[in-house]
Chain A
């Protein structure tokens, strides 16, 4: 059973979102996703200041097995990326909700947060995938 922290929000393509105290959000991929991917060997991150719409491709994560697109769960401007993943992509496996984060957004529309899945709803998505 994978780890699905109750305080985070999710989308069905296996990204997680954490709302920070300053109103920005941090995005990464879930424990379920990293387990399915296997060892991560390369991560392509978005550019700082790029404006994204919810559902846009925001990067790529490559594992020993395959390449997968990373989607942004929310619309906004990229204000930070986790450049430590360039040299230590294995952080996505070892700490998907911590050191393995991908990027931070300044939200265009905080109302979009309401459309995300909570932990229970995301757990159902994972269960359905088996």
Chain B
């Protein structure tokens, strides 16, 4: 059985630009426009534009909105001022990650941006736990672009128009609304730049104007290697409902204070913290040439000179910037920091180095 793939308002523009279109969780999206590597380098060197209109935007309004989100999310939205956003997650009762998301505090209510891949599960969960005096509205009439790179803001000045100085002045995770443009200093590449949510009818012109300013179209392929270099998780690979945020380097998104804030999953998470988190996410770099891939087994050297499995690569790639294999891995918490590690690659145990995240310095 197959259902027709949804197309964003930019699908024709992608095809005109030579995109290789691929199915992506119910959407037909650009994988690349010829060379994923060139798009990656363009974003790191100058700036790129990603069509992320497949992302799910949900507005949360009503007198009960704050109380509702205080129960739904790991972050404490009560600490957000109007024009501020924060990254966090929705957890199930076992403390597993239902989705990661960004919550924006607007003048009226909140806006959540969640993953396309988890849309149905998210909306069902959000509806199931809906509090009193809250209205959820999915904004599927809106499109979304990510404009990322060291020159992203400079090159977007003309398109931003009168809003340009204000957008320039925003700090990370701050946003503003200028007419029907929702402009946020967020992203998924580790570069400076912004994301814009705007009416679908305006996105084709926006795309054309930003391309004319010398920004390069970039596809899902480059988006994946850019976010991995920046040490950012991908839902469904680096975490899912069987993984707690503490096991996925997302502990910093969990607001434990105030102590009486009973967010969903809190009890399970607190119990895991008290008992000791069983697995930890780490960054790994492959020694020598080659590529790391998700799903490969990570092993620790044994005293007998063998290798014992201690974890799995959750995301792996060839880093176009570092020109080496890099990966996020989930390892047993008992593995010492200094342990000699290897990844089993085509029958060989190839040494890997544990490293700090992100793999590259961030400029966001």
Chain A residues close to B by CB (< 8 Å): 38-39, 41-42, 60, 62, 64-67, 86, 90, 93
Chain A minimum-CB-distance residue to B318 = A41
Instruction: Please judge, given known A-B contacts A38-B36, A39-B36, A42-B318, whether A64 and B221 are in contact too, CB under 8 Å.
Output: yes
A41-B320, A62-B290 are known contacts; what are 10 more A-B pairs with Cβ within 8 Å?
A38-B31, A38-B36, A39-B35, A42-B291, A64-B37, A65-B221, A66-B293, A67-B346, A90-B37, A93-B35
**A residues near B75, Cβ cutoff 8 Å:** none
Please determine whether A64 and B318 come into contact, CB atoms closer than 8 angstroms: yes
In the complex, the 4 A-B pairs of residues with the closest C-beta atoms, listed nearest first: A41-B318, A39-B37, A62-B291, A64-B36
Q: Which of B309-357 contact A (CB under 8 A)?
A: 317-318, 320, 346
Q: Are B37 and A60 in contact (CB under 8 A)?
A: no
7 intermolecular pairs with C-beta atoms under 8 Å apart: A38-B36, A38-B221, A41-B37, A42-B289, A67-B293, A86-B289, A93-B35
Chain A residues near B225: list those with CB within 8 A: 64
Q: Mark B162-205, 1 if CB is under 8 A from A, else 0.
A: 00000000000000000000000000000000000000000000
**Which residues of chain B come closer than 8 Å to A66, judged between CB atoms?**
293
Known: A39-B35, A42-B289. A60 touches B318 (CB 8 A): no
- Residue on B with the closest CB to A94? B35
Q: Mark B27-38, 1 if CB is under 8 A from A, else 0.
A: 000011001110
Contact-size category for B: 10 to 19
Q: How far is the CB of B150 from chain A (nearest CB, A)?
A: 22
Nearest residue (CB) in B for A35 is B20
Contacting residue for A62 out of B31, B32, B36, B318, CB 8 A: B318
Q: How far is the CA of A64 from the CA of B293 in the complex (A)?
A: 10
Residues in chain A near residue B35, CB distance under 8 A: 39, 93
Q: For residue A38, which residues in chain B have a CB less than 8 angstroms away from its CB?
A: 31-32, 36, 221
CB contacts under 8 Å to A, within B267-311, are: 289-291, 293
A44–B99 alpha-carbon span in the complex (Å)? 38
The chain A residue with its CB closest to the CB of B346 is: A60
Alpha-carbon distance A41/B225, docked complex (angstroms) = 13
- B15 to A: closest C-beta gap in Å: 17
Q: Which residue of A lies closest to B32 (CB)?
A: A38
Residue from B31, B32, B291, B346 within 8 A of A41 (CB atoms): B291
B residues less than 8 Å from A62 (CB atoms): 290-291, 318
Contacts of B346 in A (CB 8 A): 60, 67
Residue of A nearest to B38 (CB): A39
Q: Which chain B residues border A64 with CB–CB below 8 Å?
A: 36-37, 221, 225, 317-318
In the complex, chain B residues whose CB is within 8 Å of the CB of A67: 291, 293, 346
CB contacts (< 8 Å) of B290 on chain A: these are 42, 62
Q: Which residues of the partner chain A approach B31 to less than 8 Å between Cβ atoms?
A: 38
Contact partners of B37 in chain A: CB under 8 A: 39, 41, 64, 90
Tell me the nearest residue of chain B to A66, going by C-beta.
B293
Distance between B138 CB and nearest chain A CB, rounded to angstroms: 32
B293 surroundings in chain A (CB, below 8 A): 66-67
Task: Name the residue of chain A whose CB is nearest to the CB of B225.
Answer: A64
Chain B, 17-53, CB within 8 A of any chain A CB: 31-32, 35-37
Q: Closest CB-CB distance, B61 to chain A, in whole Å?
A: 42
The residues of B that contact A65 with a CB separation of less than 8 Å are 221
A36 to chain B, nearest CB (A): 10
User: What's the least CB distance linking A16 to chain B, in Å?
Assistant: 22
User: In the complex, A61→B79 CA distance in Å?
Assistant: 50
Bound-complex Cα distance A68 to B320 (A): 19
- With both beta carbons as reference points, the residue of chain A lying nearest to B323 in the complex is identified as A41
